[in-house]
Every structure is written in C-alpha cells, then in structure tokens.
Chains A and B, each alone.
Chain A
Amino acid sequence: MTLKKSIEEKIFTITAEICPPKGTDTEAFLKKARLLKGKIAAGNVTDNQRAVMRLSSLACSALLLREGIDPVFQITCRDRNRLALQSDLLGAWILGVKNVLALTGDHVSFGDHREAKAVFDLDSVQLLQVISKLNSGENMKERPLRGGTAFFTGAVVAPEADPFEPEFIKFEKKVEAGARFFQTQAIYNMDKFRNFFEKTKKYNVKILGGILLLKSAKMAHFLNENVPGVNVPEGFVKELESAPDQLKKGIEIASRQLRELKTFCHGAHIMAIGQEEVVPDIIDMAR
C-alpha cells in the first residue's frame, strides 16, 4: 500500500521519519527501515536535517524503494537553487519516488557547516508551485518537459505556531500551490491541534499529526533550548523526569498521542530522531 492509496482510501495513515547516515555505511539505516516495513505507509527521508550534512535524501529514498518501502522524499530550499531543485525532483521521479515533501529548511547556523552559503533561492510555497508545474509536464519557466512527474505532494505546517494567523495564511498558500497532504510539526497541545484540524477541514488536504518521540527528560530540555519550533510542555517533562525508564515513558507518551489522533485525524507522522527502532512499539502500543 502506497502513501497516496492509504490516504485516498481514508485509512488512518502512519508515516515515520528515517534519518540518513553521516556517511556511506547504510547498514544501520536499512536495518531501521526494515523494522518499519509493513508498520508504516511511508518513510520520510530527511534532507540534511537541522543543516547537518548527511547522505542525500534522494539516494536514501531510492534505497527505501529497493526495500519495498514507499519513501517521502524531503527536499529543502536551503541547499539547492531552482535549477538543482527541479533537476533533483526529476531525478527522484525517474528513480521511482512518488511522494515529495517540500520544506524551507533549517538555517545553516544550526548545523555542522555554519560557514556555508544558505541558498533559499525559492521558499517552500514557491517550491510547491514548481512541483505542480513539473506535475503538469512543464518546468517552472513553463517550457514543456520531455516527460514530467506526477508527485503526491506534501508540505509542513506548525499547528501550534504563535502567532497563528500568519502560519495559517502560509498554510492556505501551500494548499493553493498544490500541497495535498500535510505532515505537521510536533503536537504538544492536543486541544490546540484539534482546533487547527477543524480549521483545515474546508480544504481538500489530508493532515498527518506530528508526534515527536521524547527519549528522555534531558532530550526534552535540549529540544526546548536548541530546536526551532519545539516547545515541550512542562507536563511531559515532569512525566519523563519521574519515570524509572525514560525512553519507555517517551514511547508511552507518543503512543498516547497516536491513539488520540486515531479518533479524529487522517493520520500521524512519527519523528523518532535516531531512535526509529522503537517506532513499531509506539504503533503497537496505540492499537
């Protein structure tokens, strides 16, 4: 079952992030991917996430295909100009990649190559427009392509953004630009998320609620201090701090969120940040 089919057939759709390795040894990456096979509808391959240089998301998407996992090729605007973006998208398509997630990309100042030139030739909305163009058989200059694409296109939204209005205006622009599904940033406040979900109902898009695995209280503190857009609430932190096995508690919190999402949302997107092997536990526990 592909991501598109799962979403279109209104099955509760679970995706999970799989992070490429920092080098060419793909053994651990593949091992984690195999554990997820059959448990998730698609695996998101991150693109130099947090501006840390890793094996390319395009190459790793192709690896997932070989394993029989439907990949979501994540592509950011940080490292490629409009020529490279289009060229990589065409490349992904001919390799068999059907899903793409368009992102702006974290700023280079977070990463391991802080002296790099950040590209941002396009932004995420414009990138979605470009993907729609490629899907219609044209390049962004409206010149016909010898063979186009038919990507199932996704985007990201921050449901708990504050202020919310500019975020929602951007969401609407992304819908208009061709996004068919949204994988949200991590949910911390389910009531806020429900409100957001209600608002999106009038648009013809599917929402996969973001679940971030909190591996430990230390990680929660680290995220709050270092990762953009992340705001782990005090309640979760306390729960983790008082648990004898913090990872187990994190899995429990994640599966609790998953179970709740199942009652109203189209799907969930699990971000386990390096701990992908526990994703099946989260899914099983939420059954």
Chain B
Amino acid sequence: MITTKKKELKTILEYLEGKKNILLIGCGACAEQCMTGGNKELLEMAEILKKEGKNIVDSLLLEEACYSLLLKKELRQRKKEIENTDAVLILSCGVGVSCATEALPKVPSYPALDTLFLARVERHGHFTEGCSLCGECVLAFTGGICPITYCPKGILNGPCGGVVDGMCEADIETPCAWVAIYTRLKEIGRLEDLKRTAPPKDHSMKRKPGKVVVKRNDFKKIY
C-alpha cells in the first residue's frame, strides 16, 4: 500500500488561490486506508473549501486513483459538471495527480497529499515501510529482511560502524537492520549468505520513469 500524509491546509489554499471552481478527486484504495483521501476526507475538504469561498464542481471517489483509464471514463461521464473547473485537487498519492493531469490537460491539478512510501499495514492506521521498489530484489540473501528498506544507508554487506548495542545509529530506538538479518540468517541456518560479498547494486534496474508492458502471450506462459 502507498502511504500518504495530508499537506498543510495553508499550502493547499496557496495552490488554489484565485481559483473558484474546484474538482476534488479521492482514492478508495490506499489513501482511504491512510485516512487521507477517502470519502470522509473528500467531504471534509469540500466543507473547508466551501468556507473559503470555493465552489466544488464535483467530488469523485475513484476505486483506485492510479487507474488512468478509470479516471478518464468517470470524467467523460461528468463532462457537463466539470466544464468550468478551474483546478483539480487530488487526495491521493502522486500517481493520482499524474493521472488527473493527463486526463484534464487544460486544467491545473494539485496534490493535497505528500506521498511517503510503500507500506506494510501493521494494523489500522499503523504503517511501516515494507519495500523500496529497488528493481532487483535481494531478499533471497538477507533472510527476507530488506537492507535497502530497513537500513537507512541501504548497504549490502553487513552492519556499518554505527551499531550501538545492536541498535541503529540513525535512530537509536530502532534495531540495526543488519543485526536483524544476521540473527535471522543464523536462526534459519543460512549464515553463509552473510559471508558472501554482495556486488554493487545495479541501479539501471531502477531507471526512471519505469515502464512495464505485459505482452499478451505472457499471460499463458508459466516460466
């Protein structure tokens, strides 16, 4: 899940300065779970903006704001309502903003949220980063614990000199990722994985912007 947090209201109002007719877009997937862009937050934002003298032309809660075609379809059906839109405010991750920008090329779109990380949901409202989307998974050699995500330095060959009694130098409350990896590898009898020197990461696997097109034949293939 993609974690987001609300931007300061002041910032949002600065974006919308001089713009009267606002279209709101929310996301029923991640942002709703984060309590930053679901139905409740759309209603809340509409109320606030109305008080600020804005006119809400429409408020759209998409099943997933990252689904570009879905957004275009919804907007086609609302052509009339959104005709005079001065600005779109998107309560989702940055992908939602990018979809809205493409779907409404003549209207400026603004993010209401900051996009944080790809999260593990611990429990309701508790999220921790779970994957850094590095493009080349190393978990096979690290006992399933990701050093790129859990080590603030993302280093690949064991703990740095900053370990203090097994805790991380960057955050003394957090256990060192490499000590955790070591403990885990020892438990599962795979300490040799730690002894092997990991090569430098291939950052070309993560060249931006990422693009994947699954070919039709690939659906049928099983390796």
Contacts and interface: CB of A to CB of B under 8 A. Distances in A.
A166 B159 contact: yes
Contacts, number: 102
A103 B170 CA distance: 16
A156 B161 contact: yes
A201 to B, nearest CB: 20
Contacts of B203: 121
A106 B153 CA distance: 9
A122 B200 contact: yes
Interface size class of A (residues with CB under 8 A): 35 or more
A185 B199 contact: no
B162 A177 contact: no
B87 interface: no
Interface residues on B, range: 20 to 34
Given A123-B157, A170-B158, A185-B161, A107 B200 contact: no
Contacts of B162: 106-107, 228-229
A165 B186 CA distance: 10
A13 interface: no
Contacts of B152: 107, 109, 118
Contacts of B222: none
Interface stretch (A67-75, A124-132, A214-222, A263-271): A124-132
Residue from A120, A121, A162 having most chain B Cβ neighbours under 10 A: A120
A229 B166 CA distance: 10
A136 interface: no
Interface in B193-220: 194-195, 197-201, 203
Given A104-B153, A107-B153, A167-B158, A173 B195 contact: yes
A232 interface: no
A163 B169 contact: no
Contacts of A103: 161
A170 B157 contact: yes
Given A126-B200, A228-B161, A228-B163, 4 more contacts: A104-B153, A109-B152, A109-B171, A161-B159
15 contacts: A77-B153, A104-B153, A106-B169, A107-B152, A120-B154, A124-B157, A125-B158, A126-B156, A158-B161, A162-B165, A166-B178, A167-B159, A169-B158, A169-B194, A231-B165
